[in-house]
Structure 1
């Protein structure tokens, strides 16, 4: 999870302030889609909500720095002014619950042989 936060910080870094917020959100969505697709199996809903909230905070902070306004302005632009939160994806509803009492795969290895 620390890697995801570091990557989000890197995407919303100060050196990227000249870019339009839509470009930042597109890059962030690209990373979040891949990260959530990898970790969607299991009990990861709480982690997804933390990462989703962190991404929203960083985008709001990015917007406020870009316009040299308060952080409340960034939240207002993200949540109120934009009908779809500038296109930022939501991590809710992506988690796939593990199957109770059944292994993840029918065979332990791809070819079915035992471990060496």
Structure 2
């Protein structure tokens, strides 16, 4: 999770201020798709929700700094002025049950431990 936050912070850094927000969202979507593709198996819905919320906050902060306005303006642009969070992907329906219909391990002692 910390790696995701660091990478989102790097994508929305101050040095990319001259780029349009759509370019930042494109980079964020690429990262979030990869992150969600790796972590979608299992019970990770809450974690993905936290990562998306952090990405939304950083994007609102980026818009605020770009226009030299308040944070409320950043949230307003993100939620109301532009459709669907400037194109930021949703991570809510990506989670898949771990190996649906199959046990988690094929053998009960898959790690090599002996029976007692």
TM-score interval, smaller chain: 0.7 to 0.9
Q: CA deviation at 1:66?
A: 0.2
How many aligned residue pairs are there? 108
Aligned to 2:72: 72
Secondary structure at the aligned position of 1:9 is classed as helix
Q: CA deviation at 1:103?
A: 3.3
Post-superposition Cα deviations, 1:23-72, rounded to whole Å, max 9, x if no partner, equal 00000000000000000000000000000100000000000000000010
Aligned to 1:50: 50
Structure 1 unpaired stretches of 5+: 108-114
Q: CA deviation at 1:20?
A: 0.4
Q: CA deviation at 1:83?
A: 1.7
Post-superposition Cα deviations, 1:78-101, rounded to whole Å, max 9, x if no partner, equal 000112211000110100012366
TM-score (norm 2): 0.87
Aligned to 1:18: 18
Task: Could you list the structure 1 runs, at least 4 aligned residues long, displaced by more than 2 angstroms after superposition.
Answer: none
| Correspondences of 1:1-116 after superposition (within 5 Å) | 1-98=1-98, 99=100, 102-103=103-104
Structure 2 unpaired stretches of 5+: none
